[in-house]
RNA sequence: GCCCGCUUAGCUCAGUUGGUUAGAGCAACGGAUUCUUAAUCCGUAGGUCCUUGGUUCAAAUCCAAGAGCGGGUACCA
């Protein structure tokens, strides 16, 4: 809800000739710099201060009539500002009281000094209005605590909860420090594709999307792995990427669908070199950013003191439950051993599960939850690692490790598989596993194989979930707490909180306000199809050329083509008269009867077109406007003529028929000879051109035109068109 | 996907066994105040109790369905 009193203040500011939204403000100090200057002074405001210019958001205010204390906050932190009528003048203080609300931004020019009570402050000599806030800040003491609000309106969380600000600052510093460390150790940062044609680099389900121009389905990457290894093949000996990845899978506190992974690869290293380097990197990050190797997450204390144990998965499981999977060579034997130990795995489809998956499930059940302090879990079974190098002594396992802490997998690393024949065999095994019903397998990647066939150096690398690590180091148990704007379902404009982006419904032709049809009256597909009404469009979503091409493809009957072209002309004139987007309005006019040649039934007319127009990219509100001109035929869908644009399309399409009919009865049959007076007369003569729907023409009122003015506008536009 | 929980003023929260006109603090508005820092004091205004339907003489409260969010679990690496 926009605050009425704030709007009134905004108006008062404007009325006084002051810009409520300033263009810029020259700062000399951040608030913390200014505060530190003041703090360094003697404890008395009489002491000569430093002149400063600062700016920030007004967070608190304590007014004593002629003396006013406030706290400003900028990116550095907070500082108290004192507005003393004896210094800035009584007018200035009064203006502040009348104009400034908590949440506004102001600039302050003054001198640093302490107050009588010793608070480091800035004594204003002048202040400047910088930006008016129309909505209030959250509670000033307790901040914003509602979890959903904190995610939906993260800016409020950031403004009012210092802990949130610090956490996201930490994330920035973490990534920055990691980049610096990698840069300092000979790594080069690259960017590889997010939009790709093949699922590659990990075992996960992708998000799918459509590439229109190339007419093909694409996927968003689940990992940058194979691209980075191709970089190494190309001669980047050490390479890394801070890679946004997308996995279309279940949500949980430890899984995001849209997350950041850092991956690096180093030529000539194996996974043991990798572990050594990783221990150094992580300790560097922790030491430089936290200053302690003890991290508290909830009740759990995690100790990063090195060296971190390196334990094979086989030993971990053996220790935890006495099962040695190395002696159990097939899935059934392992299943029997698990059953014999009365261990209950909760996963589904256990009886069909492969040996590798069973080992993985067993590890997750009996071992991983107990791993609190960092551990390198090494030597995974080969089944689950199609891109990792198999062990030279034991081909059933791979040279791989995961860094685990707090029960979370933080890093996944291996000696990379660079043998193209082995890699091809692994891919083929994946493909046959898929054939056997395992959905999450890697498809054969011929491009990647080809690269490997050209020769890759031995190498090792890893991927780290940035959110997981940052969450761990900031003591959070949910990754959303370290994601600035996590994905949330949109709220439809509920009562008291209307959708700010939707245009208000325009008055109907009779001048009474209309209401949007109840959503439940529309079928789901129609609702999706028709979109929300709008009074104007910033962008039709479809160029004139593209619209013309559709028009040529769909509309063949000459009279219909003429009618639609004329409607476009009238729409253009209406847009000009209203100062609306002429190009967009013309497109709507040209396309409004797109499917009329193909669809004759009134209850389907416009629906077929709507589908095609949506596919072509036309703005949903434009589709709504076009469909609304047949709202009688489409009444079952619940669509109604609501916005200015809706009314405009109806009026334009109908008036064209009246003008045409009127000009046809003239001796010359030329629209140039048609007089407005006669057009008006024929409008009111019901028998004349009876199938021209007069009530549609009257919808011009809903687009802001008097009837007669609208007829004049349409006539003039069509006459101008016919001469040109 | 399934199970459980939460949703009351812009924010933070009360609200008894179903019972008068749904309350408080902050924020807002009016007033007092030249050293406050969660300022204080006096006064005013602010509500679709998430939505819809039901039970009842009576619903924020009970029931049902739906929405959003959270937690668990499964799928999934």
Q: Which sequence spans correspond to the domains of chain A? A: 4-140, 165-482, 519-720
pLDDT band for position A599 (cuts 50, 70, 90) = confident
- Selected residue with higher pLDDT from A49 and A271: A271
Instruction: Round and report the angstrom distance from CA (A165) to C1' (B10).
Output: 22
Considering only CA atoms, name the residue closest to the C1' of nucleotide B10.
Answer: A136
Give the architecture (CATH level 2) of A165-482: 2-Layer Sandwich (3.30)
The nucleotide whose C1' lies nearest the CA of A142 is B12
pLDDT at A527 over 60: no
Indicate the SS3 state at residue A5.
Answer: helix
The most confident of A68-82, A200-214, A358-372, by mean pLDDT = A68-82
The most confident of A48-57, A336-345, A450-459, by mean pLDDT = A450-459
The nucleotide whose C1' lies nearest the CA of A520 is B52
Instruction: Round and report the angstrom distance from CA (A58) to C1' (B26).
Output: 15
- Selected residue with higher pLDDT from A518 and A377: A377
Nucleotides of chain B within 7 Å of a protein C-beta? 1, 10-13, 25-29, 32-40, 47-48, 50-51, 67-77
pLDDT band for position A288 (cuts 50, 70, 90) = very high
H-only helix segments in A244-345: 271-289, 313-321, 331-340
Q: By the 8 A CB rule, do A642 and A533 touch?
A: yes
CA separation for the pair A512, A480 (Å, rounded): 46
Q: By the 8 A CB rule, do A583 and A538 touch?
A: no
Instruction: Round and report the angstrom distance from CA (A346) to C1' (B75).
Output: 11
Instruction: Round and report the angstrom distance from CA (A491) to C1' (B67).
Output: 9
List all residues 6 or more positions away from A11 whose beta carbon is below 8 Å from its beta carbon: none
Considering only CA atoms, name the residue closest to the C1' of nucleotide B70.
Answer: A147
The nucleotide whose C1' lies nearest the CA of A87 is B34
Q: Mean pLDDT for chain A?
A: 85
pLDDT (tens digit, 9 = 90+) per residue, A344-380? 776 666 777 778 888 888 888 888 888 889 999 999 9
pLDDT at A493 over 50: no
Span of A34-38, A136-140, A307-311, A514-518 with lowest mean pLDDT: A514-518
What does the pLDDT read at residue A644? 87
What does the pLDDT read at residue A35? 95
Joined tokens for residue A312: 């094979």
What does the pLDDT read at residue A384? 77
Mean pLDDT of A270-274: 95
Q: By the 8 A CB rule, do A321 and A358 touch?
A: no
Joined tokens for residue A268: 């000539």
Q: What is the DSSP string of A78-129?
A: EEEEEEEHHHH-HHHHHHHHHH--TT-EEEEEEEEEE-TT--EEEEEEEEEE
Instruction: Round and report the angstrom distance from CA (A513) to C1' (B28).
Output: 31
pLDDT (tens digit, 9 = 90+) per residue, A384-414? 788 999 999 998 889 999 999 988 889 999 9
pLDDT at A417 over 50: yes
Span of A21-30, A74-83, A93-102, A713-722 with lowest mean pLDDT: A713-722
Mean pLDDT of A635-656: 82
Considering only CA atoms, name the residue closest to the C1' of nucleotide B47.
Answer: A496
CA separation for the pair A644, A202 (Å, rounded): 51
What does the pLDDT read at residue A11? 93
The nucleotide whose C1' lies nearest the CA of A495 is B48
3-state helix, strand and coil shares in percent for chain A, rounded to the nearest 5: 45, 20, 40
pLDDT at A73 over 70: yes
The nucleotide whose C1' lies nearest the CA of A477 is B71
Interface predicted TM-score of the whole assembly (ipTM), two decimals? 0.90
Instruction: Round and report the angstrom distance from CA (A18) to C1' (B40).
Output: 33
What does the pLDDT read at residue A636? 65
The topology under which CATH files domain A4-140 is: OB fold (Dihydrolipoamide Acetyltransferase, E2P) (2.40.50)
Instruction: Round and report the angstrom distance from CA (A255) to C1' (B71).
Output: 14
pLDDT at A498 over 60: no
Q: By the 8 A CB rule, do A357 and A383 touch?
A: yes
Mean pLDDT of A505-527: 36
CA separation for the pair A234, A452 (Å, rounded): 11
- Selected residue with higher pLDDT from A176 and A680: A176
Instruction: Round and report the angstrom distance from CA (A55) to C1' (B32).
Output: 31
What does the pLDDT read at residue A601? 67
pLDDT at A142 over 50: yes
């Amino acid at each position: 809800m926009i605050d009425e009193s704030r709007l009134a203040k905004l108006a008062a500011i404007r009325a006084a000739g002051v810009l409520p939204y300033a263009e810029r403000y020259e700062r000399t100090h951040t608030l913390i710099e200014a505060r530190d200057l003041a703090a360094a002074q003697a404890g008395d405001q009489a002491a000569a201060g430093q002149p400063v210019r600062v700016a920030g958001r007004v967070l608190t205010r304590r007014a004593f009539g002629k003396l006013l204390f406030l706290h400003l906050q900028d990116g550095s932190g907070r500082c108290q500002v004192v507005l003393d009528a004896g210094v800035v003048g009584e007018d200035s203080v009064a203006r502040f009281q009348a104009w400034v609300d908590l949440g506004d931004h102001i600039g302050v020019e003054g001198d640093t000094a302490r107050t009588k009570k010793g608070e480091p402050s800035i004594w204003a000599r002048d202040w400047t209005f910088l930006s008016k806030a129309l909505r209030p800040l959250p509670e000033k003491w307790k901040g914003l605590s509602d979890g959903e609000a904190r995610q939906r309106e993260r800016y409020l969380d950031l403004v009012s909860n210092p802990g949130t600000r610090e956490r996201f600052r930490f994330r920035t510093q973490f990534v920055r420090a990691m980049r610096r460390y990698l840069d300092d150790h000979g790594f080069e940062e690259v960017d590889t594709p997010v939009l790709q044609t093949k699922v590659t680099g990990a075992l996960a389900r992708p998000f799918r999307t459509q590439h229109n121009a190339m007419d093909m389905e694409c996927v968003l990457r689940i990992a940058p792995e194979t691209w980075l290894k191709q970089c190494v093949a190309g001669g980047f000996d050490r390479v890394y990427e801070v890679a946004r990845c997308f996995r279309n899978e279940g949500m949980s506190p430890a899984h995001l669908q849209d997350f950041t992974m850092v991956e690096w690869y180093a030529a000539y290293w194996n996974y043991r070199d990798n572990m050594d380097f990783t221990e150094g990197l992580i300790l560097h990050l922790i030491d430089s950013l936290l200053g302690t190797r003890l991290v508290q997450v909830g009740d759990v204390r995690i100790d990063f003191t090195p060296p971190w144990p390196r334990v094979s998965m086989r030993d971990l499981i053996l220790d935890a439950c006495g099962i040695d999977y190395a002696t159990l060579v097939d899935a059934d034997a392992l299943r029997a051993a698990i059953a014999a130990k009365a261990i209950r795995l909760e996963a589904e489809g256990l009886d069909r599960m492969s040996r590798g998956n069973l080992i993985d499930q067993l590890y997750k059940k009996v071992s991983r939850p107990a791993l609190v302090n960092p551990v390198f879990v090494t030597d995974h079974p080969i089944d689950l690692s199609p891109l990792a190098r198999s062990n030279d002594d034991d081909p059933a396992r791979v040279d791989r490790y995961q860094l685990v802490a707090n029960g979370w997998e933080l890093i996944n690393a291996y000696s990379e598989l660079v043998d193209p024949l082995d890699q091809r065999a692994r891919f083929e095994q994946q493909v046959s596993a898929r054939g056997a019903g395992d959905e999450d397998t890697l498809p054969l990647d011929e491009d990647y194989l080809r690269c490997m066939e050209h020769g890759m150096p031995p190498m090792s690398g890893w991927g780290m979930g940035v959110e997981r690590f940052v969450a761990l180091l900031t003591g959070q148990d949910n990754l959303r707490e370290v994601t600035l704007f996590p994905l949330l379902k949109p709220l439809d404009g509920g009562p008291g909180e209307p959708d700010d982006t939707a245009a208000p419904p325009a008055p109907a032709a009779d001048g009474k306000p209309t209401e949007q049809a109840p959503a439940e009256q529309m079928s789901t597909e129609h609702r999706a199809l028709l979109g929300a009404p709008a009074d104007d469009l910033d962008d039709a979503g479809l160029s004139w050329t593209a619209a013309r091409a559709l028009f040529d493809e769909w509309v063949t009957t000459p009279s219909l083509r003429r009618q639609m072209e004329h409607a476009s002309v009238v729409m253009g004139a209406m847009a000009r008269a209203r100062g609306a987007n002429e190009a967009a309005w013309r497109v709507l006019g040209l396309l409004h009867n797109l499917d009329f040649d193909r669809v004759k039934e009134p209850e389907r007319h416009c629906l077929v077109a709507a589908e095609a127009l949506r596919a072509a990219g036309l703005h949903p509100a434009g589709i709504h406007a076009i469909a609304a001109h047949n709202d009688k035929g489409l009444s079952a869908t619940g669509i109604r003529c609501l916005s200015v644009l809706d009314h405009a399309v109806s009026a334009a399409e109908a008036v064209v028929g009246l003008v045409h009919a009127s000009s046809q009865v003239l001796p010359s049959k030329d629209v140039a000879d048609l007089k407005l007076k006669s057009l008006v007369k024929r409008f009111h003569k019901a028998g004349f051109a009876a199938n021209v729907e007069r009530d549609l023409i009257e919808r011009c009122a809903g687009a802001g035109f008097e009837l007669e003015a609208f007829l004049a506008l349409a006539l003039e536009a069509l006459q101008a068109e016919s001469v040109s």
